[in-house]
Structure 1
């Protein structure tokens, strides 16, 4: 049986603020922000994107500090939800794929990610254009030679 994401994590005593409220913009505000983002991307000469948990939650990978986040549930003494999908079977989201298209078009130059889910690589972002700040759950490095 394959482990879900939460089961792969080590227990951490102090995880900071948890149970953080999620805010959602009204549709007209969201539309305006999307239009502004499109203009900024068009004008960009060197687009770099920084991603975090939010890009992968729609793929079935939980966040940590949100209302239903892993650390929030642990702190509240609640059971972690059963993985709806084994971690290794999560597929990239539409957002991941949009970033790939921006990279292929030569617009996106680099992706910096806090995620360990490997979805940027699976989506097609080239390894040399990706920094995974916390590592990658699916990547191992040889302790002798450093080869991935």
Structure 2
């Protein structure tokens, strides 16, 4: 499946702010934030992570509102042209890190807006994952709900 999925998205006029810049943290600031994050996870009794399109951009799957996001390009009158396919995209470092947190009982559940299947492909168990918009690699029977 190619990323021409963007062309098949339903018309949606209120896309929010598009063309958002990428954030680049200074190394010292990032280290401090990661230390705080580590402490929060270690102290948490039930950690849930919510992910969106940004987690998959390093896999070559575009986001929607970033500098080259699907909706940003649309607003400029351009069509996205990506050669990445969902079946060839690989889980990113962040997908794998979340999987490792789950394996070590620090992460209890992931809620994802993504349809790319990369959380599951990274090794995250399906019973620890809610894919709000579905998954391009799974189908469900409308009658009996079997996947």
Quick check: TM above 0.5? yes
Q: 1:13 to 1:7 in 2, by over 3 A?
A: closer
- Residues of 1 paired with 2:105 and 2:12: CA distance? 43
Contact 2:6/2:70 (8 A) holds in 1 = no
| TM-score, normalised relative to structure 2 | 0.90
Residue number in structure 1 paired with 2:126: 127
**CA-to-partner distance for each residue in 1:87-110, whole Å, 9 max, x for gaps?**
221110111111111111111111
Provide structure 1 residue ranges, at least 5 long, that are not aligned to the other structure: none
Contact 1:51/1:112 (8 A) holds in 2 = yes
Residue number in structure 2 paired with 1:87: 86
Count of matched residue positions in the alignment of Structure 1 and Structure 2? 146
Residue number in structure 1 paired with 2:59: 59
TM superposition outliers: structure 1 runs of 4+ over 6 Å: none
Provide structure 2 residue ranges, at least 5 long, that are not aligned to the other structure: none
Contact 1:5/1:87 (8 A) holds in 2 = no
Contact 1:6/1:70 (8 A) holds in 2 = no
| TM-score, normalised relative to structure 1 | 0.90
CA RMSD of superposed structures (Å):
1.6
